[in-house]
Structure formats: structure tokens, C-alpha cells
Amino acid sequence: MKSPDNLFIDLHELAYLDPSAIVGRTVRIRKPDRVRIGQGSIVDDFTYISCGLTVGDYSHIGASSTLIGGDAHIQIGHFVNCSPGCRLVAASHDFVDGGLHGPPIPADYATPGIVGDIQIDDHVLLGANVIVLPGIHIPEGVAAGACTLFTPKMKLEPWTLYVGIPARPVKSRSSAAIVQAAAQLRARDK
């Protein structure tokens, strides 16, 4: 299967789109020259991407997700699954300091925001409507229940299931079968 023609851009404008990757027709990508999507990955419809983005291989961004962050970058590894409605926020207004905020405000009146690249390592699973705030590193194998909130400065443990607002660890995940299946799939596709 090939990506359908995109409603907003010519997909050749992307910095890289692997021929086996699929980007939905209604995915809106504001800065295509800063977006790279790897082998077999899928970005589902009604997703909005306004920052730099690298998606590894066999990863999935579910429908109606939002990946925002101005000049910041979001790095997504291999075999990552972001369920529908995830919000990955790599840049935000400062909600405490006074000042004017938002795209309509001229630069010389605007308050600097909070910016931090987001890194999501291999085999991470984000449930529906998970929110990731600026500067978060989600290490390998983390899973997050629906509606989990990851706030800045959180230190997360690999292969751990988190739930809740703010995220709290509830149990560990076993990695062996997952890593083995990934290696087998890689070998099959060589």
C-alpha cells in the first residue's frame, strides 16, 4: 500500500518518507522539510504536526494526534505506538509568567515559551489521549495507560507501565518477547 495524495502538501516535500511508510490523506504537516518517517511506519488521518519530527521504523501515530513545538524536535524510535488523540507538546506558552501569548501576538510583544525536545525510545506504547509535555525523554519500553500525563522533568524508568495524572509507575513490562519479535520482523524484511 502507498500513501494516498495528501490534502495539504506534496509528500515529496518531506525530508524523508520511506516508500513503505503511509501518511494519511488528511494529515497536516506544517514544516515538511523537517519531517522524516521511516520504514513501515504509519501516520493516521487528522493528525497535526507543526514541529520537527523523526519517526523510526514500524512506528504508528494514531488518528487525531497533535505533535507541536515550533522550532523544537520530536524524536520517535522504532516500534513505537501512539494511540489516537495523543498530544506531544515540545513547546508551550509559559502559563505562570505574565505576558501575551499565542500565534496572533507579534514577536516583540510575546513572552518566551517553554521549549524542550521530546524523545520517545523504541517499543514505547502510549494509550489514547496521552499527553507529553516539553523536554520529556520516554525511555525504551515504557507503556502509558489512556490519558496519562507526562510532565517536564519527570525521570522515567524503561519497560515500566505508567498511568494517571501525573504519571505514576504501576508495574514493569517484560522486554524479551517484544525485542525478539522485533528482531524477527527486521530479519524477515531484510
Ligand X SMILES: CC(C)(COP(=O)(O)OP(=O)(O)OC[C@H]1O[C@@H](n2cnc3c(N)ncnc32)[C@H](O)[C@@H]1OP(=O)(O)O)[C@@H](O)C(=O)NCCC(=O)NCCS
Q: Fill in the DSSP letter of residue 6.
A: P
Instruction: Return the HEC string of 70-128.
Output: CCCEEEECCCCEECCCCEEECEECCCCCCCECCCCCCHHHECCCEECCEEECCCCEECC
Q: Which of residues 148-167 bind ligand X (CB under 6 A)?
A: 161, 163-164
Contact status: 172 vs ligand X (CB under 6 A): no
Q: Which stretch binds ligand X (CB under 6 A): 45-53, 93-101, 132-140, 141-149?
A: 141-149
Measured from the CB atom, is 11 or 86 closer to ligand X?
86
Q: Which of residues 9-38 bind ligand X (CB under 6 A)?
A: none
Q: Which stretch binds ligand X (CB under 6 A): 45-53, 107-115, 142-150, 174-182?
A: 142-150
Q: Which stretch binds ligand X (CB under 6 A): 2-10, 93-101, 139-147, 178-186?
A: 139-147
* Per rule CB under 6 A, count of chain residues that contact ligand X: 11
Which residues make beta-bridge pairs with 120?
76, 138
- Report DSSP letters for 25-76, one per residue: TT-EES-GGGEEE-TT-EE-TT-EE-SEEEE-SS-EE-TT-EEE-TT-EEEE
Measured from the CB atom, is 84 or 113 closer to ligand X?
84
Which residues make beta-bridge pairs with 49?
29, 67
**Smallest gap, in angstroms, from Cβ of residue 14 to ligand X?**
26
d(Cα 186, Cα 153) in Å, to the nearest integer? 34
Contact status: 83 vs ligand X (CB under 6 A): yes
The residues of the shown chain that bind ligand X, judged by CB under 6 A, are 83, 127-128, 145-147, 161, 163-164, 170-171
